[in-house]
Amino acid sequence: MDLDVVNMFVIAGGTLAIPILAFVASFLLWPSALIRIYYWYWRRALGMQVRYVHHGDYQFCYSFRGRPGHKPSILMLHGFSAHKDMWLSVVKFLPKNLHLVCVDMPGHEGTTRSSLDDLSIDGQVKRIHQFVECLKLNKKPFHLIGTSMGGHVAGVYAAYYPSDVCSLSLVCPAGLQYSTDNQFVQRLKELQESATVEKIPLIPSTPEEMSEMLQLCSYVRFKVPQQILQGLVDVRIPHNNFYRKLFLEIVNEKSRYSLHQNMDKIKVPTQIIWGKQDQVLDVSGADMLAKSIANCQVELLENCGHSVVMERPRKTAKLLVDFLASVHNTDNNKKLD
């Protein structure tokens, strides 16, 4: 073979090898950086833009797609220790003509974290109302959806600010009082009694604990590589002290049952989505809400755990779109595109 051709293959091979080796090195050495890049790329691919808005010296970080129109805007509230990007898997399956807003909850990701902030459910509801006012999102009633802790906040928000909200979706929300505790809640109470706050199952600090948390929250058993588990832990560890503080705040007497105490004040059409195999918050909560909220639809998902948004994003998106169509067809006699 001609020497020049050999040289060409060597150069070409070297050129390809550099980015490949860089990717492998990044995966092995800086998996948390790759996770951040992954979310950045996904937001970009889905057309979600990140913006900041301020209420006094308090900063809210949010992502959005679309503009307000004749259809209700949709405000999406994530769960405990998550962030706005957890909704991307659902956004992927939502129509592009909807105005979507995903906000980082108080103290999470790009939203201000302050030692003076009231992290109770009431405190978070007030903060979200400030965010809504900053964006003038309530110029026309919007649809509110929240999952887990975000569902707790969303439900109480709908009770406190009924004129802001035209409809509501609660995805396995926290904040309900059960007659009996499930295994997860029993374990939490034992940890509280022993003051072992370092071992809260929803606040992992090792890859092994992260794997256990994923198994707790998901019915589907994901096979996650060790390096990805390490990356997920690395992203969370700097925030774990805040997560512990927040967790203890939302499970204390002031906040634990806020949704239960206010569910009969929810007057807007409401959709409940719950995984039947939820090990964190028992699915019987759906029936409690249905009995207290007059205009309520319940959707129970087979073979699905607590992480409904991650496990069944396409189904969640379809249920949301169908619910909005049914509710707002009734109100406006027109279909959701």
Q: Which residues are catalytic?
A: 148, 278, 306
Q: How many other C-beta atoms lie within 10 A of the C-beta of residue 243?
A: 18
The two tokens of residue 52 are: 């900041």
Instruction: Please write down the long-range contacts of 81-87, taking CB distance under 8 Å and 24 or more positions apart.
Output: 81/108, 81/202, 81/203, 81/236, 81/239, 81/243, 81/246, 82/108, 83/108, 83/109, 84/109, 85/39, 85/42, 85/43, 86/147, 86/309, 86/310, 87/309
Q: Which residue has the tokens 């950045």?
A: 40
β-strands 58-65, 100-103: how paired? Answer: antiparallel
Q: Which residue has the tokens 């003051």?
A: 195
Sign of the Cα torsion 68, 69, 70, 75 reads: negative
Question: Measuring CA to CA, how many Å separate 248 from each of 251, 288, 330?
Answer: 5, 24, 42
DSSP 3-state of 182: coil
